[in-house]
Structure 1
Amino acid sequence: MNYFRRVAVMALLTLPCAAQAQSAGGTEAPETSPPVSVSGSAAIASDYLFRGVSQTDRELAVQGGITVAHDSGLYIGLWGSNLAGWGTFGGANMELDLIGGYKAQLSDSATLDVGLTWYLYPGGADETDFAEPYVKLTGTTGPATLTAGVAYAPKQQAIGKWYDDGAAAAAGLYDHPGAKDDNLYLWGDAAVALAGTPVTAKAHIGHSWGQDGLGPNATAVAPTGEYWDWSLGADATWRNLTFNVSYIDTDISSREAGYLRPSFSKGQDGTGNIAGGTVLVSLTAAF
């Protein structure tokens, strides 16, 4: 009996030493990250600009999104914003985007992202929703990150030319009921982190090609058929908060947008250019 007691005491005395050896990296298994990650954000912005065009009638926007990603590169996401004025696609006061895709790490500094965005407008007319596949190539060099992208929405009723002008749309008289059209968008983004500061300078340029009229609910992805949009701005980050100030503009003049009125105007009263230059301010919290 004394023998077994001595063995038990020796074992107890040995345990702390074994534990210290494992914590020092001897035989302890390395920690592994879970294969699925969840991230999201919530933001408040002075406007919601989609490719340079206001979707909230130059008023406040509250936005949020969530993404679930697998370490294989597959991901799905959900993003939403309130709408007003031109952006209210057939009576909807909300945009809800369903996003799915795959990210492939081409190298330590290059990523290819292939996916699809399904734009939904809950509470709007039946023909409002449309799908848009996209491809993005992102590369980093030093403090700079560069992205080139293409998004192509194949022919769909939601982006077809049902009206030739805003007057017909206001009267509810279809010029081409049931028409389908497509839309192409090419863009480039650049971001440069300023050394020693929490600030990142950002720039964007994009070009849209689509139908030069109005869709079934007096809206269009490329309102004047084709146009440029661009922006210059900066992010300032503190912990999980990002404050952004940007100047955003398009080359859509009031004269070019004239045939789209009254829909294409602030308050849809036929005056003001909702695609003119504006300063956008936003605050985003990531989680």
Structure 2
Amino acid sequence: MNARVLCTVAGLLLAPLNCQALTLGDNFTLELSLAGASDYRSRGVSQTLGDPALQAGATLMHTSGLYLGAWTSNVDYGFDYKTRQELEYYAGYYWQATENISLDLGYLKYSYPKEGQFNMSEVYAILDVYGLMLGAYYSNDAPNAFGEDQDTLYSYLGYRLALPAEVGLELRAGRNDVKDPAFWSTSGDSRETYYEWEAKLSREFFGVTWALSYVDTDLSKSECFSWYGYDDLCSATVVASASKTF
């Protein structure tokens, strides 16, 4: 699952981009984004069985700070699951307190064609203070392995800064809590939370942002298998990506 890309919302954009949103009258702007990645990792876990992903989004923004939009990516959950697409619809409010302090509040709906049992929603809050970011995503209808809705809470601490030669660096450490025992080890022990982290370098060339990320979780292979059905979706990996915002 991936958050939307909002070029005017500094708290949601960690890498430097050449943003050229389309102006629609005096109060509205429209932003379009395209991206390709060697793997679609969400909260440290692959959503494409380690295969590449193509992604696109559109966001309509108002000068008041209100926004709404949609985002999509290909996915692959293996087995007999028929869905090959993730759709996200979101709406929110972005408040810029000062040039370096902002707060973003919103609602996010996930939809998976042909596999509606995966559909879920979240509310989120992201506080950005001088590049230090604290975010939280809460859901009360996340599906579990038994097909029942449950509460989940994903929270993270991130930091972004500019390095020499116009290189951007993003750091993030997150905690995903599914509230009920879900990740089982070979010893028979279980836990309901896991940690994930990412370090990302990015730079813009010819209007395209190129990035390289190191992504990992603290889930063992057996714990990953017990929840996702595969033991290699949660391990450390390097993700290469290219993105363009219009």
5 Å-filtered alignment, 1:52-131, equals: 52-85=44-77, 90-124=81-115, 126-131=116-121
The aligned counterpart of 2:128 is 138
Which amino acid is 1:151 matched to? Y
Alignment CA distance shift 1:285-1:247 (3 Å): same
Task: Kindly indicate which of the two structures has a greater share of residues assigned to helix.
Answer: 1
TM-score by length of 1: 0.70
Alignment CA distance shift 1:103-1:239 (3 Å): farther
Query: RMSD of the alignment, in Å?
Result: 2.1
Q: Is it true that 1:202 corresponds to 2:163 in the alignment? A: no
The aligned counterpart of 1:191 is 160
Cα distance in 2, alignment partners of residues 89 and 153 from structure 1: 26
Task: Kindly indicate which of the two structures has a greater share of residues assigned to strand.
Answer: 2
Overall identity of the aligned pairs, in %: 30
Cα distance in 2, alignment partners of residues 72 and 105 from structure 1: 10
Displacement of 1:258:
4.2
Displacement of 1:213:
3.9
Cα distance in 2, alignment partners of residues 96 and 56 from structure 1: 14
Q: Which stretch shifts more, 182-191 or 250-259? A: 250-259
Secondary structure, counterpart of 2:232 in structure 1:
coil
Task: Decide which of 32, 35, 40 is 1:40's aligned counterpart.
Answer: 32
Secondary structure, counterpart of 2:222 in structure 1:
coil
Alignment CA distance shift 1:238-1:89 (3 Å): farther
Cα distance in 2, alignment partners of residues 89 and 283 from structure 1: 30
The aligned counterpart of 2:18 is none
Q: Is it true that 1:180 corresponds to 2:112 in the alignment? A: no
Displacement of 1:224:
6.0
Displacement of 1:240:
2.8
TM-score by length of 2: 0.81
Runs of 4+ in 1 over 6 A off after TM superposition: none
Q: Is it true that 1:279 corresponds to 2:238 in the alignment? A: yes
Cα distance in 1, alignment partners of residues 182 and 82 from structure 2: 19
Secondary structure, counterpart of 1:255 in structure 2:
helix
Cα distance in 2, alignment partners of residues 258 and 92 from structure 1: 20
Greater C-alpha Rg: 1
Which amino acid is 1:233 matched to? K
Gaps of 5+ in 1: 1-32, 163-176, 215-222, 266-271
Larger relative contact order, structure 1 or 2 (CA cutoff 8 Å, min sep 6): 2
Gaps of 5+ in 2: 1-24, 184-189
Displacement of 1:90:
4.5
Q: Is it true that 1:50 corresponds to 2:42 in the alignment? A: yes
Displacement of 1:212:
3.5
Displacement of 1:194:
1.6
Secondary structure, counterpart of 2:226 in structure 1:
helix
Deviation by residue 1:63-115 (Cα, 9 ceiling, x = unmatched): 011111000000001111001135x8952110000010001112221111000
